Structure 1
Amino acid sequence: MKKDLNGKITRGTQRTLDAFFEAITALLAEKPFADISVNELCEHAGYPRATFYNYFEDRDDLLAYCWTALSRQADLADLASTAPEHRIDTALDAMADLLESNTELLRAILRNNSSEGPLFSSLHGFIERQAREIIRTCIDRDRFTLPADLIADHYANTVMLVLDWAYLRGHTLTREQLHDYAHTLLRGVE
């Protein structure tokens, strides 16, 4: 992304980012990602192509921004202060909350975009990277003999697998079931 989002963002910048975010989510509810052009995005957002390219390299860059914007909705700030035995449940709940709060959008997007296609590959990659980073920072390193990065990858992949099963593949699970599935799959390292 061409704009640095780590510093203070002006209202004008946020308004532009929001317009492109809303444009791509609206278009994804209507058609596959592969069929969305930069021109359509700009028309829908109400900005010229030059503005799009001032903010983003391409459509994939906009998509990466969208994942980042959505992830900010997840409440993961206090994960490191959570007791180690509850961290996986807390991370799983935060990600599940995010998916559930966007259920209608997710359903609309799933109607037009295969869960095996580039859109969901991008989403999977983003969630896995985020989960690894989150879990890597709060692994109880004294509890395991394996390298923390390896355990973080295993935990992140397991969390992603359970979320994928429940939210992208359409298996309705309660929170208790989500937790039970994750813990059952993780027993090999616990």
Structure 2
Amino acid sequence: MKKDLNGKITRGTQRTLDAFFDAMTALLQTKPFADISVNELCERAGYPRATFYNYFEDRDDLLTYCWIALSQRADSADLASVESSRRVDVALDAMADLLESNTAMLHAVLAHNPPDGPLFASLHRFIEHNARQLMLTCVDRDRFDLPADLIADHYANTLLLVLDWAYLRGHTLTRAQLHDYVHTLLRGVE
């Protein structure tokens, strides 16, 4: 992204980012990501192409911003301060809450973008990276003889596997079942 999201963001910048976020999410609910043009995004957002390119390199860059904006809405607790035996559950709940709070949008997007298509491949890469970083910060290094980054990858991939299976592939699970599935799959490490 051309704009630094770590610094102070002005109201005007936030308004512009919100407009492009809204344009992308609205269009994704009506057509495949591959069929969305920069012109459509600009028209829908109410900004000229020059503004788009002041903020984003291309549509993929905007899509990455959309993932960032959605993930910021998740209630992600500081996992390092959570008791180690509850960290996986807290991370799973934060991710599940985000997916559940956006169920209508998710279903509309799924209607036009298959789970094995480029849109969800991008989402999967984004979540995998962030889940790995999140899990890496809270791995109890003294508890295992394995490298922390390997354990973080295993935990992140397991969380993603269960969330993908439940929310993107349409297998309805209760929250208790989500937790049970994750813990059952992680038993080899725990």
Q: Structure 2 matches for 1:100-111, cutoff 5 A?
A: 100-111=100-111
Q: Structure 2 matches for 1:116-155, cutoff 5 A?
A: 116-155=116-155
TM-score by length of 1: 0.99
Distance 1:188 1:68 in 2: 32
One-letter amino acid of the counterpart of residue 91, structure 1: A
SS of residue paired to 1:141: coil
Distance 2:73 2:20 in 1: 17
Distance 1:98 1:73 in 2: 7
SS of residue paired to 1:185: helix
The Cα of 1:77 is off from its aligned counterpart by 3.1
- 5+ long unaligned stretches in structure 1: none
One-letter amino acid of the counterpart of residue 58, structure 2: D
Deviations along 1:36-94, one digit per CA (max 9) or x if unpaired, are 00000000000000000000000000000000000001111321111111100000000
Is the contact made by 2:77 and 2:90 (CA closer than 8 Å) also made in structure 1?
A: no
- 1:160 aligned partner: 160
Matched, 1:60 2:60: yes
Distance 2:135 2:65 in 1: 21
- 1:16 aligned partner: 16
One-letter amino acid of the counterpart of residue 71, structure 2: S
Distance 2:184 2:77 in 1: 26
Distance 1:111 1:50 in 2: 31
SS of residue paired to 2:8: coil
Matched, 1:113 2:113: yes
- 1:97 aligned partner: 97
Deviations along 1:158-187, one digit per CA (max 9) or x if unpaired, are 000000010000001011100000000000
One-letter amino acid of the counterpart of residue 106, structure 2: L
Identical positions, percent: 79
TM-score by length of 2: 0.99
Matched, 1:184 2:184: yes
Distance 2:173 2:113 in 1: 23
- After superposition, the CA RMSD in angstroms is 0.5
How many residue pairs get aligned? The number is 190
- 2:46 aligned partner: 46
- 1:4 aligned partner: 4
One-letter amino acid of the counterpart of residue 114, structure 2: S
One-letter amino acid of the counterpart of residue 32, structure 2: P
SS of residue paired to 1:144: coil
